[in-house]
Structures are given as structure tokens and as C-alpha cells.
């Protein structure tokens, strides 16, 4: 049965894949990638190429409409075929989720000011929620948020500290979460701002996100009242809008990167010999590659299923939790097997395999660690059971 939406997405994805394989993957070993983050000039240089190839922000169409989640999955997987791909074509985190949120909840005036340059790929953004663990701030439990906001005439005053803020260093748009006496609030702010100080960029296991992950101090930041998204106390409700699609888009992109790692490990096993035959012909190696195929196929099916749930209009909170756990854990297994199949080469920077392995390790933590998703699913199991008992 023909499906024009999916056919359109397949055509966009083919262009994105050709661009990422031909014009991004050759930069996979670039010195400018750096140990913790790619340099801004490398990002902007690849973006120029993406613009010229007509693949900039490929999941948002020229008329401003967004591909469906099922369509987005096909395109974002293609963008992930190099870890640098999402950054080059502007499908990366946190910008992809931030663009989605601003597109859904901001006023036309705020969209014009903040969303337009993001969609054009001219600027980057950051999402400020997590706070330093040592100070007892928000982490797995966002309700522990300590950053405050107080109304002051036509403005809000924000104070607090944030941690792990991806892309904050170099970002021009920020979405800041803080707590008023009504509850959580969300603000759109222009960056940089002297009241938002980058204390340090963390030395993390992953290395593909521009700007890295920063610890931030916010001292008396004044934000005009019309830059609050929604009403005071609506912050978590608005965060929900971003939650499931953003979780799912990590799965989509990293699926692409792990597929590429599997391709590299397969090529190694099909060329390298040990004990008189190709590695792939040793059952221990062949089975690892077979297990990769099974995990990758299951991950793709979970993503497609969850995307369909979101396209049906559901918030998909439980479904995106299940998918995030299943996909991040499956991709971790695949990435680990790819390293193992390649022996010593697997742990070197000579291919992207070790980088993908490190990226997926971090992915098991952000946007909800595996245990937190399982814990919330377990609560749902109990709730559903008790409700069924009452009927
Ligand atoms: C690379 C990276 C990028 C990030 N980018 C951003 C960003 O841009 N913006 C932002 O706001 N945040 C960002 N984060 C923060 C991320 O969302 C948090 O790290 C995550 O929510 C976990 O919080 P925490 O680190 O404080 O861990 P903690 O809350 O201290 O939890 C530690 C561990 O405790 C366990 N745990 C917690 N709760 C439960 C439970 N209910 N049941 C069972 N086990 C549990 C889990 O195993 C968890 O890993 C990023 C993190 C990383 C690593």
C-alpha cells in the first residue's frame, strides 16, 4: 500500500545518507573533533556543505511543518551514520528537541525570534534542567529543582546552578527551567548573557556534541515576562511535550551510528584472518555479528512502534520509556560486540567504533537512566493491576 509520507521521508533520508557518507564520514577522524567536543569551525564548515546539498534540518520542511515521528525516524537514522552527521545537518540533540518544543508551544513572535535561526542552522541552543548532584539539585528527579524564579515587575529574576548543559558553551538560544511559588517554569532566553556564567565544561566520556556539557551559574538573570513559555507552574507540563519525542530521536540517531559501527566490524571480520580462516567464519565471531543484526532489527522496530504511538496523538510516556531502555541497552550490546570483533583496533581511534561505544555509554544515562524508566514502568504495572482489581 502506498504511503506518500513515508515515501517522502525515504527520499529525504537517501539524500541525507549520501551527504553523511560522502561529506561527513571522511571527517570522522579529524583532529578538530577534539577529545570532548568538535570545534565550532568544523561544525559550521560541515553545515555550509549541508546547506549546499539541501539537507539542512531535513526533518522540518520548507513550509515549517515537521515530518511525522515515523518519517523523522527514517531521516534521523540516516543522519546518525556518522557521529558528526546530526551536528552537520542540524538533527542533533538538544537542538532537535528544542526546535520541536519551541515550534509547539511558543507564540508566533517568539518562534520568529528564536526558532527561525535555529531551523536555519545558523545558531545552536541548550536545555537547562539538570543541577549539580553535590548540591542536591534536579537529576533523575526533576522535582528536586533548586533554581528559583521570582516575578519582578515585567521581568522574572532567575538564580541557581545547572550541570551537564549540552551545547551551552557557544549556544545563542537557551530554554531554562526554574521553580516559582506556583511550581516549575520554563523560559526562552537569548545567549550569551553575562548573568549566565559557564564555570567549566565537563570532561565526559562522550565527544560529539558541540559545546560539550557545562556547569553553569545563573546569577540574577532578568528575563522579560513574555519569554516565559506558558504560565507560571506550567513548566513540567511543557517539558512533557518535548520528553517523548526527544528521547525517541536519540534512539533514531544512535541507531544510525551503531549500524555504521556494525558495518565497520563486519568488514573487519570478513577481511581479517586468524587460525587459517576469516574471523567471520569462526562461530564465536559470526554469532556476535548475528546477534548484532537481531538487536539492530529489534531496536528499529521499537522506534517505529513508539513513533506510531506518538503520531497517533498520545504523549507516549510509557512507550517512549520502554523504547529508550530497549534501544539504548541493545545499542550498547551491539557497540560492545563491534569493539570485541575488531580486537585491538576496536579500542583505537582508527575507526569510529570506539567513539560510538563511548557515546552509547552516555546515552544509557541522559534523558532518563535505564533504572528510572524501569522504575516508572514498574509503578505503571502496579497502578494498572490495582485499577483492574477495582473493576
Ligand atoms: C552526556 C550528558 C548530556 C546531558 N545533557 C543534558 C542537558 O543538555 N540538559 C540537562 O538538563 N541535563 C542533561 N544531562 C543530565 C541528565 O539528564 C542526567 O544526568 C540524568 O537525568 C540523571 O541525573 P543525575 O546525573 O543527577 O543522576 P542521579 O539522579 O544522581 O542518579 C544516579 C543513578 O541512580 C539511579 N536511580 C535514580 N533514580 C532511580 C530510581 N527511581 N530507581 C532506580 N534507580 C534510580 C540510576 O541508575 C541513575 O543513573 C546530560 C547528562 C549527560 C551524561
From first to last of the 391 residues of the chain, give the pLDDT tens digit.
578 889 999 999 999 999 999 999 999 988 778 888 888 888 999 999 999 999 999 999 988 899 999 999 999 999 999 999 999 999 999 999 999 999 999 999 999 999 999 999 999 999 999 999 999 999 999 999 999 999 999 999 999 999 999 999 999 999 999 999 999 999 999 999 999 999 999 999 999 999 999 999 999 999 999 999 999 999 999 998 889 999 999 999 999 999 999 999 999 999 999 999 999 999 999 999 999 999 999 999 999 999 999 999 999 999 999 999 999 999 999 999 999 999 999 999 999 999 999 999 999 999 999 999 999 999 999 999 999 999 8
Q: How far is the CA of 133 from the centre of ligand 1 (A)?
A: 9
Residue whose CA is closest, atom 9 of ligand 1?
165
Residue whose CA is closest, atom 48 of ligand 1?
369
Candidates 142, 107, 67, 122; CA nearest to 311 is 67
Q: Is 365 in the pocket of ligand 1 (CB under 6 A)?
A: yes
Which mutation among 146, 372, 374 tests ligand 1's pocket best, with the greatest number of atoms within 8 A of CB? 372
Q: Can you spell out the DSSP letters for 322-391? A: HHHHHHHHHHHHHHHHHHHHTHHHHTSTTSSHHHHHHHHHHHTTTTS-HHHHHHHHHHHHHHHHHHHHH-
Residue whose CA is closest, atom 31 of ligand 1?
140
Q: Is 205 in the pocket of ligand 1 (CB under 6 A)?
A: no
Alpha helices in the chain (DSSP H): 4-19, 40-52, 69-79, 85-89, 95-105, 108-110, 116-119, 235-271, 283-311, 317-341, 343-346, 353-363, 370-390
Residue whose CA is closest, atom 26 of ligand 1?
139
pLDDT of residue 1: 59
pLDDT of residue 391: 87
pTM above 0.95, yes or no: yes
Dist CA 7 CA 1 (whole Å): 11
pLDDT of residue 36: 82
Q: Which residue has the cell 551527504?
A: 19
Nearest ligand 1 atom to alpha carbon 93: 8
Q: Which residue has the cell 561505544?
A: 357
Which mutation among 125, 131, 135, 140 tests ligand 1's pocket best, with the greatest number of atoms within 8 A of CB? 140
pLDDT of residue 339: 98
The answer to whether the beta carbons of residues 265 and 337 sit under 8 Å apart is yes
Amino acid at each position: 500500500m502506498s504511503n506518500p509520507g513515508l515515501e517522502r521521508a525515504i527520499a529525504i533520508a537517501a539524500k541525507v545518507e549520501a551527504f553523511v557518507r560522502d561529506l561527513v564520514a571522511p571527517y570522522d577522524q579529524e583532529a578538530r573533533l577534539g577529545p570532548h567536543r568538535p570545534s565550532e569551525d568544523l561544525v559550521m564548515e560541515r553545515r555550509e556543505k549541508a546547506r549546499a546539498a539541501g539537507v539542512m534540518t531535513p526533518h522540518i520542511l520548507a513550509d515549517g511543518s515537521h515530518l511525522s515521528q515515523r518519517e523523522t525516524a527514517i531521516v534521523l537514522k540516516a543522519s546518525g551514520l556518522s557521529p558528526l552527521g546530526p551536528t552537520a545537518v542540524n538533527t542533533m540533540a538538544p537542538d532537535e528537541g528544542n526546535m520541536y518544543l519551541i515550534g509547539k508551544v511558543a507564540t508566533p513572535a517568539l518562534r520568529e525570534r528564536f526558532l527561525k535561526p535555529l531551523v536555519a542552522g545558523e545558531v545552536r541552543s541548550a536545555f537547562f534542567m539538570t543541577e549539580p548532584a553535590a548540591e542536591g539539585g534536579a537529576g533523575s528527579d526533576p522535582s528536586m529543582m533548586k533554581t528559583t524564579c521570582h516575578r519582578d515587575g515585567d521581568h522574572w529574576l532567575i538564580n541557581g546552578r545547572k550541570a551537564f548543559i549540552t551545547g551551552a558553551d557557544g549556544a545563542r538560544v537557551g530554554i531554562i527551567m526554574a521553580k516559582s511559588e506556583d511550581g516549575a517554569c520554563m523560559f526562552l532566553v537569548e545567549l550569551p548573557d553575562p548573568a549566565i556564567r559557564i564555570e567549566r565544561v565537563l570532561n565526559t566520556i562522550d565527544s560529539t556534541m558541540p559545546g560539550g556539557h557545562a556547569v553553569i551559574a545563573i546569577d540574577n538573570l532578568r528575563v522579560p515576562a513574555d519569554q516565559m513559555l506558558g504560565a507560571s507552574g506550567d513548566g513540567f507540563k511543557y517539558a512533557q511535550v518535548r520528553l517523548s519525542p526527544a528521547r525517541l530521536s536519540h534512539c533514531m540517531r544512535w541507531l544510525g551510528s551503531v549500524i555504521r559501527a556494525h558495518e565497520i566490524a563486519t568488514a573487519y571480520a570478513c577481511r581479517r584472518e586468524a587460525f587459517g580462516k576469516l574471523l567471520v567464519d569462526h562461530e564465536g565471531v559470526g554469532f556476535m555479528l548475528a546477534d548484532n543484526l537481531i538487536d539492530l532489527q529489534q531496536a528499529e522496530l521499537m522506534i517505529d512502534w513508539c513513533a506510531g504511538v506518538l503520531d497517533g496523538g498520545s504523549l507516549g510516556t510509557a512507550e517512549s520509556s520502554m523504547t529508550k531502555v530497549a534501544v539504548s541497552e541493545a545499542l550498547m550490546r551491539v557497540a560492545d560486540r563491534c569493539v570485541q570483533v575488531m580486537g585491538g583496533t576496536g579500542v583505537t581511534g582508527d575507526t569510529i567504533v570506539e567513539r560510538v561505544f563511548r557515546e552509547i555509554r552516555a546515552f544509557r544515562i541522559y534523558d532518563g537512566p535505564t533504572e528510572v524508566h524501569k522504575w516508572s514502568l514498574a509503578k505503571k504495572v502496579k497502578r494498572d493491576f490495582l485499577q483492574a482489581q477495582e473493576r
